[in-house]
Amino acid sequence: MKAEFKNDYIKIGLKIAYYRKLKSLTQENLAEILGCETSFIGQIEAPNVYKSISLDTLFLIAKALEIPAYKLLYFEN
């Protein structure tokens, strides 16, 4: 991951946490839906961890949260 995008990955993680909570899902629930470890979701959502994710993963998360993927990538100023 390029250092210049660290803040964007943090924003994506925070948006994933926001939409996950709107769906009343725990990190464990989302991990189960995605077939991954809970710790992976925790790393993505942690504001102090810079975890990059692939577009495939982003699309799978958006699908699990029943939102269009662009909502995870749109950053308002």
Q: From CA 27, how far away is CA 8, in angstroms rounded?
A: 20
Do residues 12 and 72 touch, judged by C-beta distance below 8 A? yes
pTM above 0.75, yes or no: yes
pLDDT in tens, 18-44: 999 999 999 999 999 999 999 999 999
The sign one gets for the Cα dihedral 48, 38, 27, 4 is positive
pLDDT in tens, 59-74: 999 999 999 999 999 9
3: DSSP letter: G
> CA-CA-CA-CA torsion for 58, 34, 29, 21, nearest 10 degrees?
10
Q: From CA 50, how far away is CA 25, in angstroms rounded?
A: 22
What are the chain's domains? Answer: 3-73 (1.10.260.40)
Residue 39 Cα to chain centre, angstroms: 12
